[in-house]
Structure 1
């Protein structure tokens, strides 16, 4: 007897339902769109999906031909849309073609159905946020766009061309790995930068600290310190932003460890996780102390997708990697810890990735790598407190130092266990 759950007909119908459902979802969005509704809407898009699904299920060999045939009526309808509305936008036309492909993808396999659901959801969201995306694009200055385009082009051209092996001329360094880490770290900051640009200057101070922590916690600290120097009454809210930006450094380091050496993550997660939790509690307390009328706009954070700073980070990363290897070879663990502290004063990302890589290769132990990463994080946290004292006011420096000291102690305690 055939199990109804595994019956081939039931499976086909379920996948068909997924495809048509995605078509209906996209169709509803297009129905509400000013330009999309005149071309195709809540009834037509499910039919696109059904068309692709049925062809893929029963006539897979002619799927490409069927999609080509679909282009003909779509082209005619598109021409009529241009004639009627004077709108030459291709969004709805592309959505229609993708809907037919999604229907076919949903019928391919269970993995295909899941993929279709994810992609269909992403398409619906993308179609729904037309105005915010256009507003966001209009906010980005021409110089920022050019900087991003140049960086992306350099990445696409340079990364494949770099040799993926250790080179004697570079003292054993792998140039592709170094450039890949530059792209990775810069990408983390760029995502946060885009979020900051999308939210605009009215973002809350919590997001100011979080975004600033991913883009540049040092720049955020300097900006907040300067604001308190101009208006001392803002020291509470500025201290909150500084602390938030500082503790974001810990989960950022965890992300880097997880990418470079996942086996090291469980060891590093305990001290850095504790510092993150204690920091969140401390930041929450600071936020509770701030009054509702205390507001502060974030400082200007520059686009991380700039070639100069990216190349500088690449040089720093390469130097830290070489120094760490030789320091461990000549001085043992004490040399690694000294390098971690000195590197952490300027940048945590380079030493975090370096020690993760060395631990993955077996050049240093898990314990040494973990301790070195925590030392670098503590050194960088110390720098934030010093900047708050030097560039801000006495109240800001004292408050930031007290909070960050508690955070550091929590990490040291768990590290010593």
Structure 2
């Protein structure tokens, strides 16, 4: 007796229903759209998806021809929309073509069916957030858009062209790995920057500290210190933003370790996670003292997709990688720790990625890599306290030093366990 769940006919029918469902999902969204409803809606899109699924299921060799035929009526409908509605938008036209592809994918294989479901959901969300996307685009200045476009273009052109092997003239460095890490670190900051732009300048101070920590905790500290120098009564709220931006460095470092060397993550989680938890508790206690200062207007986040800072980080990272290897070879663990401290004064990302990679290669032990990352984090945290004293007021410096001092002590305790 044939199991109905594995019967080929039943399986095909299930895939066709899946295609109809994805088409209906996109079609309902387009039906509610003023421009999309007149072009195609809740009936047309399921039919387009079913069309692609049927061709893939029974006439796969004719799929290119079938798509060519489908383009003809879609083009006619689009031209009619342009003439009668004066709407030249291509969104619904492109969505219809994607729907046909998704319909074919539901039948092609199990993996492609899963991908079709994911892409269908993403397409629906993307179509439904037209207003927020346009508002976000209008909020970004032309110079910022140009800088981001240049950076992305250079990434797409440069990354594939770089050799993915150690190069003797670069003292054994892998150029593609170095540049990939530049893109990764900059990308983390860019995600936070996008969130900041979407949330706008009226976001709360907690989010200001968190996003500032992902983009640049040092820049956030400098900005908050300058605010207290202008208005000393803001020292509580500014201290909270500085502390929040500082402790965000630790989960950021955990993300970098997880990407570069997942095997190192269990060793690093305890000290960095512990410092994050202690810092979050201290920041929470500090937050209750900021009730009267919650109207603080934060500084605008700077777009991290800029070529010069990215190149500077690439150079720093390459140097740190070479110095760390040499320090470990010449002086052992003490050399790595000294390098971690002095590098951490300027940048924690370079040292985190460097030690993660060296641990993955077996150049340094897991213990040395973990301790070095914590030392770099402590050194960078120390810099925040110094900046608060030098650029802010004595009250800000004292409060930040106390809170971050507790965080640093907890890090020393956790790394010694």
TM bin (shorter chain): over 0.9
The normalised TM-score by structure 1 is 0.97
Alignment of 1:192-341 (within 5 A): 192-291=192-291, 294-341=294-341
Change (3 A) 1:96 1:231: same
Paired position in structure 1 for 2:123? 123
Q: Is the 8 A contact 2:31 2:42 kept in 1?
A: yes
Give the stretch that moved more between structures: 250-259 or 345-354.
250-259
Q: Is the 8 A contact 1:219 1:301 kept in 2?
A: no
- 1:114 aligned onto 2:114: yes
Tell me by how many angstroms 1:394 deviates: 2.1
Change (3 A) 1:84 1:353: same
1:293-318 alpha-carbon deviations (Å, 9 max, x no partner): 52222223221111111111111111
Counterpart Cα distance in 2 of 1:84 and 1:206: 50
Give the stretch that moved more between structures: 295-304 or 177-186.
295-304
Question: SS of 1:406's equivalent?
Answer: helix
Question: SS of 2:164's equivalent?
Answer: coil
Paired position in structure 1 for 2:40? 40
Counting matched residue pairs gives 417
Q: Is the 8 A contact 2:270 2:414 kept in 1?
A: yes
Alignment of 1:27-106 (within 5 A): 27-106=27-106
Counterpart Cα distance in 1 of 2:291 and 2:196: 23
Paired position in structure 2 for 1:6? 6
Question: SS of 2:35's equivalent?
Answer: coil
Counterpart Cα distance in 1 of 2:340 and 2:87: 58
Tell me by how many angstroms 1:329 deviates: 1.0
Counterpart Cα distance in 2 of 1:104 and 1:171: 50
1:17-45 alpha-carbon deviations (Å, 9 max, x no partner): 22211111111111111111111111111
The normalised TM-score by structure 2 is 0.97
Q: Is the 8 A contact 2:237 2:293 kept in 1?
A: no
Question: SS of 1:73's equivalent?
Answer: helix
1:321-342 alpha-carbon deviations (Å, 9 max, x no partner): 1111111111111000000000
Question: SS of 1:18's equivalent?
Answer: helix
Paired position in structure 1 for 2:184? 184
Tell me by how many angstroms 1:95 deviates: 0.4
- 1:407 aligned onto 2:404: no
Tell me by how many angstroms 1:189 deviates: 0.8
Tell me by how many angstroms 1:13 deviates: 2.4
RMSD: 1.4
Paired position in structure 2 for 1:357? 357
Q: Is the 8 A contact 1:81 1:87 kept in 2?
A: yes
1:267-292 alpha-carbon deviations (Å, 9 max, x no partner): 11111111112222222222233216
Q: Is the 8 A contact 2:348 2:377 kept in 1?
A: yes
Question: SS of 1:202's equivalent?
Answer: coil
Counterpart Cα distance in 1 of 2:378 and 2:293: 33
Change (3 A) 1:11 1:280: farther
Gaps of 5+ in 1: none
Question: SS of 1:36's equivalent?
Answer: helix
Paired position in structure 1 for 2:144? 144
Q: Is the 8 A contact 2:317 2:350 kept in 1?
A: yes
Tell me by how many angstroms 1:395 deviates: 2.2
Question: SS of 2:202's equivalent?
Answer: coil
Give the stretch that moved more between structures: 351-360 or 225-234.
225-234
Q: Is the 8 A contact 2:53 2:106 kept in 1?
A: yes
The 4+ residue runs of structure 1 with deviation greater than 6 A are none
Counterpart Cα distance in 1 of 2:9 and 2:360: 49
Counterpart Cα distance in 2 of 1:4 and 1:296: 64
Question: SS of 1:295's equivalent?
Answer: coil
Tell me by how many angstroms 1:207 deviates: 1.5
1:150-201 alpha-carbon deviations (Å, 9 max, x no partner): 2122222222222222122211111121111111111111111111112211
1:377-399 alpha-carbon deviations (Å, 9 max, x no partner): 01101111111122112222222
Counterpart Cα distance in 2 of 1:14 and 1:412: 58
